[in-house]
Structure 1
Amino acid sequence: MYREYLKQYLETKKTTVKSSTLKTYAWLIEYHIIPLLGDHEIGKLSPAHIQKFYNGLIEQNKLASENVQKIHTLINDSLKRAERWQLVNKNVAALVDRPRMTKNQIQVWDKEQSQTFLWAAREDRLYIDFLLALTTGMRQSEILGLRWADVDLGNKTLHIVQALSHEGKELTTELKTRNAGRKVAIPGEVATALKKHKSRQRGEFLILGRSGNNDDLVVSTSLGTPVIPRNLMRTFIRRLFLSV
């Protein structure tokens, strides 16, 4: 059955993709591909089966088009490998067109909305994260992975060299963007806010009997550990309601 083969296929990906990517693949395979295609014999899968599956995903509109395309990539790659291993006569997924990519319109806060939110969050210990997000365009993962060693307050620049994983468990230098390792200029008021934040953070560390260093994360818990993204989102939502 295709479900058993997909589990074997996923095992082969462990040595070729990042752990975060592997988790995404596992989620797509377990919760989306296997429930609808898993009971087919791998040698009897047809282009019609796969096209009907794609049509259903698009009609239900439960997945972003980016994830639908990832599903196509997984099915195509898995059957291509099955063909090389002589488990099927041909890769039938290659006969099915890749689902079309659609882009959702992104709504961006204007200057007044940004300032209103920042004012509401000004006393929050995660304020610096929100400020950096609204003034630099950095990804959330990049902000949460930023170290003091990456901050040049004299030249008012930030050096993007690592990021925090979606689960908040791993710091990685394998960044997504082509501009990985880039430098980001910051306004003077952001540099001032960073100095204030650093002083506050060092005070928290001194209470715990430890001194700060350049390897410390700019955005961290009071213990100096990474801030888990989902906890950051909870704080953001709470502050968002206070700003309206």
Structure 2
Amino acid sequence: MAKRRANGEGTITKRTDGRYHAAAYVYRPDGTRTRKFVYGKTREEVADKLTELQEKTRQGIPAASSTMAFGNYLTYWLATIAPERLKPATLNSYEGLTRLYIRPALGKKRLNRLSPADVRRFLTEFKASCLCCLRRADHERPEGKRGCCAVGKCCKRLPSARTVQYVHAVLRSALQQAMREELIARNVARIVETPTVTRKEVSPLDSAEVRILLKTARTHRLYALWLLLVSTGLRRGEALALTWSDVDLTNRQLRVRRNVQRIRREILFGTPKTTRSIRTVSLPQHLVRALAHHLEHQERERTVAGKKWQPMSGQPDGLIFTTQTGRVIDPRSLNRMLTIVCRNAKVRRVRVHDLRHTCASLLLSRGVDARTIMETLGHSTITMTLDTYAHVMDTTLRAAAERMDDALNLDDLDDESEEEASDD
């Protein structure tokens, strides 16, 4: 006689349509318990789903249901699913967009009742709403807090097209997971057309401005960093996470394999933005000399600091760019430093990321092909490179036209035609 399953252990039953389903008691996001069903084509498939469900229940992780409020589902998704698939910075931005904009507007809707019209209406209203007003939701700002919407005046600070697109991406990603868990039959956010984004033209420094900036920065303790950002186009987090073991000064190469970001109050080291961001970059000779000089200067700083040289817990050994006490540099402070350098150099103020654009623009102006620039910058696709820098490719396009003239060599044909005409 088969042993009877214990109460709450779950049951597996064959349905009349040939499929199997199982049921077990799980936790709701509000802490109460309910019975949840999972389905599959085979008994083994359902048994695996049931085991996963029970394991989450033992860990106290809530399970989602199709009738739960969409706001509760977002809480479940951000707490249990998203952390395993998203990088910390992306997860942090998703949480902010959800808390400020999505949950106040759609949070009370039932997950299985959310329609394309609901999503379309939300995006339309979001595009036309002031961000300050949206962040207030249905609560007034506390007294003493400054802000245009707190005193009855609206600043009309509308969300950018990129922000609208990003909010739509959060909805699409969350509902796609609900589909995978068979809570809904379709992803209504995918049915709604993605908002278009007009790409802004980048405003890099020109070669004259770069020379003035670097000349002024020569006395700065992080001169090698500014030169590195201009010469290689590394992202801010990639440059600050470099260690001396990543650099081969003899062969004039460096390896990008990690980055550093500030997430709320924590500074975290992680992997670069995309797979293609893990790359090897060749170094110009002037940068090799600057890095060698920086290494000597860092050794002197370490000697002067003595016991005060205390790297942050969790940071890699041998960081190239640190504070005067050996700690990793806060990525946010780099923009403030660059602002001061720009002011002293009397060039227009730019962000650290604009030095990456400057690198690409300088390479394009010297006729370097887009594929090489894509590999240098670590773009995921060449389309991104071409779309971002299309407006600064005049030199490359002009050179391509001149090469076509050389390839066709039509000048000789024109001369022959003129000679034939004169003979006639």
Smaller-chain TM-score bracket? 0.7 to 0.9
Task: Identify the residue that residue 134 of structure 1 maps to in structure 2.
Answer: 230
- For 1:29, which of 72, 91, 98 is the aligned residue? 98
> By how many angstroms is 1:88 displaced?
4.5
Residues 50, 93 of structure 1: 8 Å contact kept:
yes
- For 1:202, which of 299, 303, 311 is the aligned residue? 299
Q: Which has the higher strand share?
A: 2
Quick one: structure 1 residues 140 and 4, their matched pair in 2 at CA, closer, same or farther if it must change by over 3 Å?
same
- For 1:7, which of 71, 75, 96 is the aligned residue? 75
Q: Name structure 1 gaps, 5 residues minimum.
A: none
**Does residue 167 of structure 2 align to residue 98 of structure 1?**
no
Task: Identify the residue that residue 55 of structure 1 maps to in structure 2.
Answer: 124
Q: CA RMSD of the aligned region, Å?
A: 2.5
Task: Identify the residue that residue 339 of structure 2 maps to in structure 1.
Answer: 237
Where 1:114 maps in the other structure, the secondary structure is helix
Distance 1:71 1:99 in 2: 10
Residues 161, 197 of structure 2: 8 Å contact kept:
no
**Does residue 107 of structure 2 align to residue 38 of structure 1?**
yes
**Does residue 317 of structure 2 align to residue 215 of structure 1?**
yes
Q: Deviations over 1:139-188 (max 9, x none)?
A: 1111111111111111111111211124471222x222443332211221
One-letter identity of the residue aligned with 2:323 = T
Distance 1:163 1:151 in 2: 15
Residues 141, 166 of structure 1: 8 Å contact kept:
no
Q: Deviations over 1:187-207 (max 9, x none)?
A: 211111111111111111011
Distance 1:64 1:29 in 2: 17
Quick one: structure 1 residues 194 and 86, their matched pair in 2 at CA, closer, same or farther if it must change by over 3 Å?
closer
The aligned runs of 1:183-194 (5 Å cut-off) are: 183-194=280-291
- For 2:172, which of 45, 52, 76 is the aligned residue? 76
Task: Identify the residue that residue 119 of structure 1 maps to in structure 2.
Answer: 215
One-letter identity of the residue aligned with 1:42 = L
Distance 2:178 2:224 in 1: 50
Which is greater in Rg? 2
Residues 161, 195 of structure 2: 8 Å contact kept:
no
**Does residue 270 of structure 2 align to residue 162 of structure 1?**
no
Distance 1:206 1:145 in 2: 22
Distance 2:180 2:289 in 1: 59
Quick one: structure 1 residues 35 and 119, their matched pair in 2 at CA, closer, same or farther if it must change by over 3 Å?
farther
One-letter identity of the residue aligned with 1:8 = Y
> By how many angstroms is 1:14 displaced?
1.8
Identity %: 30
Quick one: structure 1 residues 144 and 55, their matched pair in 2 at CA, closer, same or farther if it must change by over 3 Å?
same
> By how many angstroms is 1:118 displaced?
1.5
> By how many angstroms is 1:90 displaced?
4.1
Q: Deviations over 1:69-92 (max 9, x none)?
A: 332232123223334556545432
Distance 1:93 1:197 in 2: 51
Q: Name structure 2 gaps, 5 residues minimum.
A: 1-68, 130-157, 310-315, 347-424
Which of the pair has the greater relative contact order for Cα pairs under 8 Å at 6+ separation?
A: 1
Task: Identify the residue that residue 135 of structure 2 maps to in structure 1.
Answer: none
Where 1:118 maps in the other structure, the secondary structure is helix
Q: Deviations over 1:79-118 (max 9, x none)?
A: 2333455654543223211222431110111111011112
Deviates more, 1:67-76 or 1:136-145: 67-76
**Does residue 88 of structure 2 align to residue 19 of structure 1?**
yes
